[in-house]
Amino acid sequence: MGRLRHLLVGVGLVSAVFLTGSNVDYFEEQLPSTMIPIYARTMVDRRAHELVFDRMFYRSAITNELRSRLVERYQVLEGGKKIKLVLRSGVKWHDGKDLTPDDVCFTVDALLNEKNPSNDAKDYREALAGCESQPKENSAVIAFRKIYHNPRERVAFHVLPKHKFDSSQISPDDDFALRPIGTGPVKGSKGRREVSFSSVPNAHRRANVAQLQLKEGGDPFVQVRTLINAGVQGVIAVAPPLRPEVAASDDVALKSYDLRSWWFIAVNTASGALKHQKVRQALDLTIDRSELRELTIGVDKDDPNPPCEFISGPFVQSSPYYNRQVKVAERSDRARAGTLMEQAGATKAAGRWTMDGAPVNLRIGMNAPLDTEARDLLNQIGNQLQAGGFDRQVYRVTADDWNRKAVAGQLKDFDLLIGKWSFGMVEYVNPLFHSRKGGKGSMNIFNYSNPEVDKILTRFDAARTDTEARDAYHDLHSLLAKDLPYIFLWKLDTKSAWRNEVRNNTIAPYYYFTEFDGWTIQ
Amino acid sequence: MVRGAAGILLPLIVPAIIAMIIWGLPGDPATTICPQGTCGETARQALIERYSLTSPYAFLYSWLSRAIFLDFGISPVTIAGKEVWALVATSVPNTALVMLLALGPITVGTFGAALGWFPRQLDAVFQGIGVVPAVIFALFCVAFITIFDLGGIGAFGIPMFEYDNWEVSPMKLLAGGLVLGLADGALSGAVSGTRSVFDTEFKQRYIGIAILRGERPMVNAAPNVLPTLIGQFRSRVLHLLSGTVIIEVILGIEGLGDLLWRATLDNDYFVVLGAAWGFALISSFLLIFQAISGVVVELMIRRSPSVPT
């Protein structure tokens, strides 16, 4: 009896240590707005959905290889008009039901259903035509509207369980938004201040962390102090001023999180002096990116691995579409900028550029939330341009106005707009630069139009191989760097912080938790 | 009579007024879920129809026609997918607990001042405490609780309720109650308010006569000051109720104020109306309580033995 009691106490203690040791709490920027993946609106949503659901295809965070946990094999049919996906058997939903091809086709139907208010579905509606389930072969055949060189990337959506919905018209206030059922490594339950995740072993995935809790982060300072005091194990985004404090702690490690986003200044090519290509090039040379980076993001000049990487075109440097032949202008070159302005017909008097008898006056706007990531960027850019001889007025554009007006090309009163774009799996920049016509150029901020650019974008659309697509975008990069409808700034990584107890925590670009199965806690 | 009627009508009038106000503010649930030009006009229209957002009257009519059967709809934004009644039902106990804790110092202050437990010299101390703004006090508390991880359900080993989705953190509740009950002059107001009512009453001629008869002034004054004190108490409770919005938001207490704040930011009309209705219900309960108390005190005075002449 005595031995049994000792044994029970021992087992109890070991279990307690094991259970407490397998819990991870972390601070997010906010709570996810929904747990229905087709309604993801924020990066917080996308990160949370990555834990609960599986995407048809994903990129390995380690090899950048395109992989799938759900698809056993695939076959491109009809010369690329369709793709057949044979599902891996034994994959179950969190409620124990089998994943079937009907679920894949249901998700496609939901994405294509125009009554579903999904922001992400727009791209899928342009790409996908329909889906046919083949239960006998455990496969689904997805049809495309046109032939893509990268069909697998076009079907990289999170799969939804058909049996949890009455029809493909999914209400945003469905109960599923609180208690989602997925095939991912954990199941989730959303509360008012946190989301609790608990691991669900499956045939294809098994998480080592038993419990995970997403907590709503409040004040950034409190988040960091709580992390250092072991109140939580991780913070998704550490504010730049607090990074030195985190870096100084022995118990916590800072980790780069690649949001696959790049920053830009969109130039209104239809406004006043900015119609001249040489003026735009002069502006590009007036901006001192290196100084801006130091002043606004606090990047140390001597940092061997800075979180901010300059770009010369509309892609991040790690992208296959980035054209390395196009060099970045890190420092300003006021002398060359002056020459270009004079060639454009401007004259300089008392340090101010004048063109057609009037000073060159720039109305500069910035998507207001960017200020938290790059403090005072708007004023610093304004100051640099003023020092270069351009008059300027600066304005903050609210996030709502940015989403509703700037992206829709309705902020034509501005000459320059500072913003950033983020791309997940598919780096498709055609909507940013194509002329606004026939449904194309839907995100063209200043309705930029250049027939040569349009031609290249059409070439990309028509590409059948990766090489053709890459060549088209390399040409685009090179042309845009010359014509400058955008002044390209940088790719800015966010820094996460995790306590050392959390091991093997590979952070995937954009989706963050893609490799969560390998995470352990000691 | 008027108070009783106002108490009954309040839960009906408040949603109507709130509906008109929120309609005037920029944004609506459909725009939050599906900003114009991002997810298609068909989807937007489907949302507008689903949530009866064609006009404020259509929305109010639709809301009221369901609310009378206690169906407050489902939150489309703030806690998408959660029934509003469930959100309100799980919020009210937290708000009530904070209020109850906050009423502690105020009740002690009221009784202490009335019964002379506190010397007048202490008033300066109470006023000193009351000078601290609730926001600062609350921010200090939240930083302390979060950094030292004391915000858990069983923090400090204090067992607390954990029922279904209703969880309460004892430290946060305690801090909320203390902040509300002490800061912004809540305690000092209760002490000085009660004291001044009695001081004024004790100057009345009938109290002097009572003292000459050898009676205790308190016994004579109490029935006369009770309606005033009840009125003061109701306004203090309402003041605390308004304060809960700030305290709950800062301390992260899942109460009615926090719910109202979040829903307003999210343009979640259903939750805004549900939470406002919850507040109106508490307010109307207080009004009815004051009306009934007034009647009871009046009856007590009338039934008290007449003074022999």
Taking only the tens place, the pLDDT of each residue in A307-352 is 788 999 999 988 899 999 999 988 999 999 999 999 999 999 888 9
| SS3 of B250-275 | HHCCCCHHHHHHHHHHHCCHHHHHHH
Determine the residue of chain B that is closest to A39 in CA distance.
B33
Rounded percentage of chain A residues whose pLDDT exceeds 70: 95
Of A78-82, A366-370, A475-479, B64-68, minimum mean pLDDT range: B64-68
Residue A349, beta-bridge partner list: A352
Highest mean pLDDT (candidates A272-281, B132-141, B174-183, B219-228): A272-281
Tens digit of each residue's pLDDT (9 = 90 or more) over B287-308: 787 778 778 877 777 776 655 5
Q: Is the pLDDT of residue B159 over 50?
A: no
Q: Is the pLDDT of residue A129 over 60?
A: yes
Residue A512's nearest CA partner among A26, A18, A4, A15 is A26
Q: d(Cα A147, Cα A156) in Å, to the nearest integer?
A: 16
How would you class A385 by CB atoms within 10 Å of its CB: exposed for 0-12, middle for 13-18, buried for 19 or more? buried
What domains are defined for chain B?
A: 85-275 (1.10.3720)
Q: Which residues in chain A have their CB less than 8 angstroms from residue B147's CB?
A: 222, 225-226, 229, 231
Tens digit of each residue's pLDDT (9 = 90 or more) over B87-127: 988 888 888 888 888 888 888 888 888 888 888 888 888 88
Band (pLDDT 50/70/90 cuts) for residue B211 is confident
Band (pLDDT 50/70/90 cuts) for residue B149 is low
Residue B162, beta-bridge partner list: B167
Collapsing DSSP states into helix, strand and coil, what is residue A490?
strand
Mean pLDDT over each residue of chain B, to the nearest integer: 81
Please tell me what DSSP assigns to residue A399: H
**Cβ-defined contact of A118 to B254 (cutoff 8 Å):** no
Work out whether strand B166-167 and strand A352-355 pair parallel, antiparallel, or are unpaired: unpaired
Backbone angles phi, psi at A263, to 5 degrees: -100, 150
Residue A394, beta-bridge partner list: A364
| pLDDT for the residue A437 | 87
Per-residue tokens: A241: 């001023």
| pLDDT for the residue B167 | 58
| pLDDT for the residue A16 | 39
Angle between helices B186-202 and B84-115 (to 10 degrees): 50
| pLDDT for the residue A305 | 67
Residue A401 touches partner B, C-beta closer than 8 Å? no
Band (pLDDT 50/70/90 cuts) for residue A101 is very high
| pLDDT for the residue B152 | 56
Q: How far is A341 from chain B (nearest CA, A)?
A: 37
Residue A513's nearest CA partner among A88, A24, A179, A19 is A24
CATH for the A261-492 domain, from 3.10.105.10, 3.40.50.300, 3.10.20.30, 3.40.50.10680: 3.10.105.10
**Cβ-defined contact of A178 to B81 (cutoff 8 Å):** yes
**Cβ-defined contact of A115 to B43 (cutoff 8 Å):** yes
Of the two residues B158 and A219, the one the predictor is more confident about is A219
Q: d(Cα A288, Cα A494) in Å, to the nearest integer?
A: 22
B-contacting residues of A 36-95, CB under 8 Å? 36, 39, 41
Select the residue from A175, A192, A436 to test the B interface by mutation, using most B Cβ atoms within 10 A.
Answer: A192
| pLDDT for the residue A21 | 44
Rounded percentage of chain A residues whose pLDDT exceeds 90: 68
Mean pLDDT of B238-260: 87
Superfamily per CATH, domain A34-176: Dipeptide-binding Protein; Domain 1 (3.90.76.10)
Select the residue from B39, B90, B153, B171 to test the A interface by mutation, using most A Cβ atoms within 10 A.
Answer: B39
Residue A348, beta-bridge partner list: A353
Q: d(Cα A371, Cα A352) in Å, to the nearest integer?
A: 28
Q: Is the pLDDT of residue B160 over 80?
A: no
A-contacting residues of B 29-88, CB under 8 Å? 30, 33-40, 42-44, 46-47, 50, 74-77, 79-82, 87
Q: Which residues in chain A have their CB less than 8 angstroms from residue B43's CB?
A: 114-118
Contact A156, A425 (CB under 8 A): yes
Band (pLDDT 50/70/90 cuts) for residue A19 is very low
Q: Is the pLDDT of residue A292 over 60?
A: yes
Per-residue tokens: A3: 């031995």
| pLDDT for the residue B124 | 83
Amino acid at A242: L
Mean pLDDT over each residue of chain A, to the nearest integer: 90
| pLDDT for the residue B10 | 73
Determine the residue of chain B that is closest to A409 in CA distance.
B37
Tens digit of each residue's pLDDT (9 = 90 or more) over A419-441: 999 887 788 999 999 999 887 88
Tens digit of each residue's pLDDT (9 = 90 or more) over B18-72: 888 888 877 788 888 887 767 778 888 888 988 888 888 888 888 888 888 888 9
Contact A332, A363 (CB under 8 A): no
| pLDDT for the residue B155 | 45
Contact A124, A56 (CB under 8 A): no
Band (pLDDT 50/70/90 cuts) for residue B218 is confident
Domain boundaries, chain A: 34-176, 261-492
**Cβ-defined contact of B43 to A117 (cutoff 8 Å):** yes
Q: d(Cα A312, Cα A325) in Å, to the nearest integer?
A: 10
A282-319: b (≥16 Cβ within 10 Å) or e: bbbbbbbbbebbbbbbbbeeeeeebbbbbbbbbbbeeb
| pLDDT for the residue B307 | 56
Query: Measured between CB atoms, which of A117, A229, A404 is closest to B33?
Result: A117
Tens digit of each residue's pLDDT (9 = 90 or more) over A38-66: 999 889 999 999 999 999 999 998 888 89
